[in-house]
Structures are given as structure tokens and as C-alpha cells.
A and B are shown apart, each in its own frame.
Chain A
Amino acid sequence: MADIQSPVPGTFYHRPSPEDPAFKSTGDSVAVGDTVGLVEVMKSFIEVQAEAAGTFDGYSVDNEAAVSAGDVLATLK
């Protein structure tokens, strides 16, 4: 069990662009360094990467939700 936290405050995106599918789906395997989402902060996009390996257990906040630094964005099993 591991939480993936937001490194910065901003707007969280599940997808690389509105036309693309989400970076990860429940049940996907996740390696260290995999990108699971993007946080838009002041017009810059920061990649959120997994710091541990595991199985993706889902996003904890909605796509395009406002997040604070340290908020849990997704969890791994």
C-alpha cells in the first residue's frame, strides 16, 4: 500500500491531454518513475511520478480537481 502525493498545489489531470486515456487504470502495474498524472501549477505542467512500485488502486481525486501540495492523488496496492 503506497500513496502518491502531489508535489505542488494546482490542478490535477489524470490524462496527458483531454483526448487521451488516463495514465493508469485500476489493476495496472506501476514501476518506480512511472507517470500517473500531471499537476498544472501556474501554467506549467509537472509530472507526478510513482516513487514505489505496485499495482494501481485508483485515483483519489477527480480529474481536473484542485489539489494542495501533499494531497494524496492516487494509491498503489
Chain B
Amino acid sequence: MSIQRLFIANRGEIAVRIVRAAQSLGIHTIQAHSEADTDMLAVRMADQAVCIGPAQAAKSYLDVDRVVQAAMDAGADAVHPGYGFLAESPRFARAIEKAGMIFVGPSADTIERMGDKVSARQAAEAAGVPVVPGSDGRIDDMDHAADLAGQIGYPVMIKASAGGGGRGIRIADTPEDLTKLAPQARQEAQAAFGDGGIYLEKVIPQPRHIEVQIMGDGTDAVHCFERECSLQRRRQKVWEEAPAFDLPEPTREAMCQSAVDLARAVGYRGAGTIEYLYDAAADEFYFIEMNTRIQVEHPVTEMVTGLDLVAMMIRVAGGEPLPVAQSDIHLTGHAIEVRLNAEDPLNKFMPFPGVVGTLVLPESGGIRVDHFLYEGYQIPPFYDSLIGKLIVHAPTREAAIDKMATALEAISINGLKTTIPMHKALAQSPDVRAGRVHTQWLEPWLDAGNLTTDQTGGAS
């Protein structure tokens, strides 16, 4: 292991997770933090802590020069970016390497290539991975766009090639819509991302979101099976499972193999995720994008495979070959993760950054809680509302949902409003239990009033 001193350029629960993984490998940990994060749990746990600037993320966690300088000053030989912030910034990865340190993740070139939707799609196609029928790259000629949309078949989605997080997406149901919406999408993309490139994609009705976890060492790659992340609100995942439910075995094998093919084709190093839309009616899957980082929902994969993905990504970043072969990785049982956010689901998901009161976390017998809480901790209002994740593991999906329901009753985070009431209601939903969900399911379910104080007991 060439990594001796790891600088953690992130905060919250993922920082805690990385500190733990690094310490399990005997690595000295240096935790970065903003002025607003002096009291966070990862700072207390790490061997060393370094302040990198004011509360605002733009002046601390997102400031490439500052973070790189802080890591150098602290004598770090590697930097783990976590997820979010600079995790998928090729500029950050390059700056770290230029400073003589190791970036725990893929190369800057790979991040760049997979970060652009058009070049990512081209890489997927070249590796033989099925992609959503659509334009072959960006379109600048609107007549060409109309011809293509006719061939793909309406409705079509118009997307910004530089976009992300669902921004700038429009759906055209007819050629008239396309004529009207495509120029708007170009203008918006230009204003938001400084790049007016757009592309077209077929609309898959009621798609499921399934993604494959891969791990590579720069030469070889393996998959760690798939996750189902169809329960989403505003395109943010709220409840994730491993494996996907009722996925025909040949489909699972093909999907996982295609992810490995793509990872190998781009010489991928580290943990990555290949995201697919799955059309259950047609039993077809399509590549949508690749995330070149560890993800929030990685614990469900760890629960069903027994692997420590964060430790593994640190090891391969340090130059080790993959410590497992594909034949060593097996699926055992079913795992579910729910995201615990400091938001009030009964009041339009209003953020609620309070002080943590009495904390009761059930953590035994297949129940895991990844978090950064302790009693008396003031959740800072400056960052994401994710305060933790509750993960359960059981022999079957049905047993896992039962276990999730029980764990949700047992968990108690006083002083905050959290999304726990929503998860309690989801665990009781017949549609969730039967797997009759897709990416468009959750919001109408919430709008239909399935979440009320009475049903959920109003517990926090």
C-alpha cells in the first residue's frame, strides 16, 4: 500500500465512512473541514483535521486550489473526494496528480470523458452497451433534429449535453412541440452551462432505474451486481435496494457484463456506477450515464456482497490490483437503504437543520446506520440535508422490507424533523411491497396524500 496519509476532502456521513475504511487499512487520516464543520464527527474521529475555509462550500469544499494546497501542507500522499463537491471534477483530479498526490478515483481523463453525456454515450456504444435510442451525439441543426425525432418516435426527450440533475430537460410529444422546445432548451443550456449543445432521446414510459456497481484497477474490472433506485423524488433517490427486484436472470447477467465491458474499455480505476433505464414491459435496458465516484447508496451493495467498497477503492488507488475476482463475488439476500434527510416530509420537505437530541440507532443483526450524528450536534444549515442512511439486510426482499419497517420504528433522532415518516409509509405501501414502482411513481404517490400525520404517527 503506497498510501500512508489520506486527506478526506468531504464532510458528513461519507467523510465518517472514509475515515473508518482508511483506519481499517492502517492509514493516517487527515480530515478537511470548513469553519462551520469544526464539530463534525469525522473531525473528531480522524487522526488530524485541517480547516479549509468559510462555511460556504464555494469558498471551502469546492475551492480546488485551496483544497489541493491544504492537502499538500498536511503532507498527504492521497486525496479521497467522497461524493458530490469535487468528486467528479477533472480539474481537481488533475491538480492533485500535478501536486504529486494520488486521487482516489479514476483518471482525470476518464472523469472528463464519462462526465460529458455525449462522449459517455459514445464510449458505451463503442463498448457494445445498449443506449437509449436517440441522436448520435449533439445536434446543432434543427431540421436534422426533426428528422431524427421522427425516426426515434415521439415522445422524445430534449436534453442539454452539458447538463445534470435533470436540469434543462424537455419532452416533445409532437413535431410542433419539438420546433418550439428545442430552441428553448438550447438557450437554457447556454445560459446554465455555457454550452448550448443538446441531444435527443427516446422517452421510456415508466422506466425503472437500475445501476451496476463496478470496481476497476485500471486494467481489469469486476461488477458487484446491481441496485434498484427507482424510488425518486425530484430525481433524487430516496430508497435503494440490492439486488433489483424480479429482474430476469439473463437480463441481470447481460446488464452486469455490459457494465464490466464499459469499465474495461475505459481503463477504469476505482469504484464506479453504470446507470441504466430498465423497461420492464419490454425487458430492455439502456445505458444512461456513468458516475465516476463512490455513491450514497453503496452500502446496499456491501450488505449483499460482504465487500468493503471504500477500502477497496483506496487500495486500488494505491496501486494494488483488484483484491477479488469476479468468481469471488456472490449475492446473498436482499438489502434496502433509506436516506435520512433533515427535512419535514409533512411540510413540503422543508429543511430542518436543528440540534440533535436523544439519539437511538438500532445497529445489530443486519441493520447498519451510516451517519455523522451525535447528541448535542448542531446540523449546519449550509450543506445538503442528508444526515444519514439506514440500511437493512435480510434473506429475502419481503423480509428486508419487514426489517426496514421494524428498524424505522426503533430509530429515534430527537430534535430534528426527518424523512423517517415517509419511509415508514413506503414500507407499508402495497405497491412498494409488490415492486410495482418506477421512477415516476413516488411523486404522484406523495401528491395523492399517502403521507399524513395520522398514518405515520407523526414520529420524527
Once bound together, how far apart are the Cα atoms of A10 and B350, in whole Å? 13
Q: Is the CB of A42 within 8 A of B383?
A: yes
Give every chain A residue within 8 A of B351 (Cβ-Cβ): 8, 41-44
Bound-state Cα–Cα, A2 to B353, Å = 27
Cβ-defined contact, B56 with A43, below 8 A: no
Which of under 10, 10 to 19, 20 to 34, or 35 or more describes the interface residues of B? 10 to 19
CB distance from A38 to the nearest CB of B (A): 13
Candidates B36, B55, B56, B381; contact of A42 at CB < 8 Å: B381
Complex CA–CA separation, A9 to B350 (angstroms) = 12
Does B382 interact with chain A (Cβ within 8 Å)? Answer: yes
Using known A-B contacts A41-B351, A42-B353, A44-B351, determine if residue A11 contacts B385 with beta carbons closer than 8 Å.
no
Partner pick for B56 among A8, A44, A64, CB 8 A cutoff: A64
Residues in A whose Cβ lies below 8 Å from that of B253: none
Q: How many A-B residue pairs have CB under 8 A?
A: 37
By a CB distance below 8 angstroms, the chain B residues around A43 are 351, 383-385
B342 in contact (CB, < 8 A): yes
Across the interface, which residues of A come within 8 angstroms of B55, CB to CB? 11, 66
Report, as a range, how many residues of chain A touch the other chain: 10 to 19
Cα A10 to Cα B230 in complex, Å, equals 31
Per-residue interface assignment for chain A, residues 35 to 77, with 1 indicating a CB less than 8 Å from any chain B CB and 0 otherwise: 0000011111010000000000000000010100000000000
Most chain B CB neighbours (cut-off 10 Å) among A11, A43, A46: A43
Name A64's closest neighbour in chain B (CB-CB).
B56
Residue in A40, A64, A66 whose CB lies within 8 Å of B36: A66
Q: Once the chains are docked, how many angstroms separate the CA of A8 from the CA of B36?
A: 16
The answer for the CA separation of A9 and B55 in the assembled complex, in Å, is 13
Q: Please, which residues of chain B bring their CB within 8 A of the CB of A46?
A: 350
Interface of A is mostly: strand
B381 touches A9 (CB 8 A): yes
Cα distance, A8 to B381, chains bound together (Å): 9
Question: CA separation between A42 and B342, bound complex, in Å?
Answer: 9
Report the nearest A residue to B58, measured CB to CB.
A64
CB distance from B351 to the nearest CB of A (A): 4
Complex Cα gap A64–B58 (Å): 12
Q: How does the 8 Å CB contact mask read for B41-58 relative to A, with 1 for contact and 0 for none?
A: 000000000000001100
Q: Which residues of A contact B343 (CB under 8 A)?
A: 42
Whether the pair A41, B353 counts as a contact (CB closer than 8 A) is: yes
Q: B342: which A residues are within 8 A, CB to CB? A: 42
**A43 to B383 CA separation, bound complex (whole angstroms):** 6
Residues of B within 8 A of A41 (CB): 351, 353, 381
A51–B383 CA distance with the chains assembled, in angstroms: 28
Chain B, residues 336-349, CB within 8 Å of chain A (1/0): the string is 00000011000000
A10 contact set on B, CB distance < 8 A: 353, 381-382
Listed residue (B56, B342, B343, B381) with the most chain A CB atoms within 10 angstroms of its CB: B381
A40 to B385, CA, bound (A): 12
Contact (A11, B384) CB under 8 Å given A42-B353, A66-B36:
no
Q: How far is the CB of B236 from chain A (nearest CB, A)?
A: 11
CB distance from A40 to the nearest CB of B (A): 8
CB neighbours of A40 from chain B (8 A): 382
Could you tell me which residues of chain B, from 302 to 351, have a CB within 8 Å of some CB in chain A? 342-343, 350-351
A8 to B382, CA, bound (A): 11
Which residues does chain B contribute within 8 Å of A42, judged by CB atoms? 342-343, 351, 353, 381-385
Give the shortest distance, in Å, between A49 (CB) and chain B (any CB).
15
Q: Report the separation of the CA atoms of residues A46 and B342 in the bound assembly, to the nearest whole angstrom.
A: 15
Query: How far does the alpha carbon of A68 sit from the alpha carbon of B36 in the complex, in Å?
Result: 13
Per the 8 Å Cβ criterion, residues 4-41 of B in contact with A are: 36
B365 CB to nearest chain A CB (Å): 32
Bound-complex Cα distance A33 to B36 (A): 32
A42 to B350, CA, bound (A): 9
Once bound together, how far apart are the Cα atoms of A60 and B381, in whole Å? 20
How far is the CB of B196 from the nearest CB of chain A, in Å?
19
A13 to chain B, nearest CB (A): 11
In the bound complex, residues from chain A placing their C-beta under 8 Å from that of B381 are 8-11, 41-42
Q: Considering the chains assembled together, what is the distance between the CA atoms of A44 and B55 in angstroms?
A: 16
Assembled-state Cα–Cα distance A43/B351 (Å): 9
Residues on B with C-beta less than 8 A from A9 are 353, 381
Roughly how many angstroms separate A41 CA and B344 CA in the complex, as a whole number? 13
Which residue on chain A has the smallest CB distance to residue B382?
Answer: A11
Seed contacts A42-B351, A42-B353, A42-B381; 4 additional CB < 8 Å A-B pairs:
A8-B381, A41-B381, A42-B343, A43-B385
Which of B's residues lie within 8 Å of A, judged by CB?
36, 55-56, 342-343, 350-351, 353, 381-385
21 sampled A-B residue pairs with Cβ under 8 A: A10-B353, A10-B382, A11-B56, A11-B381, A11-B382, A40-B382, A41-B351, A41-B353, A42-B343, A42-B351, A42-B385, A43-B351, A43-B383, A43-B384, A43-B385, A44-B350, A44-B351, A64-B56, A66-B36, A66-B55, A66-B382
